[in-house]
Amino acid sequence: MIQRISAGFGNLVQSFRVASSSSKIGCYYGFSSLASSSLQQMCEPSIYRDDDNAVLDWDNLGFGIMPTDYMYLMKCSKGEDFEQGQLNRYGNIELGPAAGVLNYGQAVYEGTKVHRKEDGRLLLFRPEQNAIRMKFGAERMCMPSPSIDQFVDAVKQTVLANKRWVPPPGKGSLYVRPLLMGSGQILGLGAAPEYTFLVYVSPVGNYFKEGFAPLNLYVEKDFDRASRGGTGGIKSITNYAPGLKALTKAKNRGFSDVLYLDSVNKKNIEEVSSCNIFIVKGNAISTPAINGTILPGVTRRSIIEIARDHGYQVKERVIPIDELTDADEVFCTGTAVGVASVGSITYEGKRIKFKTGAQTVSQELYSTLVGIKTGLVEDKMGWIVEIE
């Protein structure tokens, strides 16, 4: 079942034009301190365009930022609710040096993707799940959050305003990044007095430089990704920079990414730095249970449901690192990575190899997931929101 969402893009652009005439807003939302020359330059149309679609090398998209046309902004004060947001030209935002996000890391973000069908229709995957997860994360970080409807509407508006940046079918997707942050200034440790919710997009290809090649993971023992009682179970911005050292070390040694163990016993697998992990043994698929240190991924949840629908026995449980030696397959899931097979995992100097390629469980599940996302497989789950 596909949810059909109709939106008047002309009304959106008209709203933008009306808003942009305000001296307070200008071309951007509160960016009046920018020099007029810089403001004019950022307000000009992107160079990557023709009459209908962006002009890019669609066959060689990586996973990087590509400035598009519009972003969405909405603000509210502490103790209040978000109300009306608006589209703005994509560009820099202004933050005071004492902004809560800059000094205390008060922010959470989300990620989802949009695919283009052969007939040009745009398909958005389970955005309400991202909205729910953001609300949960915002509560943990003492922030107000958009309602589910506000979140989904903001995503739809941003996608429609940037629809020419959605890659052609089979060439990639439009990555959507909603971000909620404490934008107000505060000196002492505490919740910011003002909050900004924004949404921007970028056309992307494969997350890993290996493309569709199997990943080679390195088990990290010196650093932890998350600990009990921390923020590992939400998509806080503070979860990621601390992992850069371990990730850099692993990549310098030729590995794709890092697999972390639990912080207490250092015996159980938990999560890869950018995605969830699954192991396959026969007809059984296992993934670490959500326990507060593992991010409840939307793709993770979707793969669990697809696998069960395909007749696999799926268990969410504690998985000792020693079980890797008996696994037939290992694969990772995430919005950015999709479903990525793992070719090997190196632990304590020993490299453990796994089955990859055609006729694997991960390939079967990947094909179904991508088929649903792109409209090639019937959406029996009601996951797809069609934007038109």
Alpha-carbon distance of 199 to 251, in angstroms, equals 30
**SS3 sequence of 124-174:** EECHHHHHHHHHHHHHHCCCCCCCHHHHHHHHHHHHHHCHHHCCCCCCCEE
Of residues 378, 306, 386, the one with CA closest to residue 338:
306
* Burial zone of 195 (CB within 10 Å; 0-12 exposed, 13-18 middle, 19+ buried): buried
353 is catalytic: no
Please state the separation of Cα 134 from the chain's center in Å.
11
Catalytic option among 113, 135, 163, 235: 235
Say which amino acid occupies 289. A
**SS3 sequence of 283-312:** CEEEEECCCCCCCCCHHHHHHHHHHHHCCC
SS3 273: coil
Alpha-carbon distance of 245 to 331, in angstroms, equals 23
Say which amino acid occupies 353. K
- Cβ 120 vs Cβ 96: under 8 Å: no
SS3 345: strand
Please state the separation of Cα 236 from the chain's center in Å.
12
Among all residues, which ones are annotated catalytic? 235
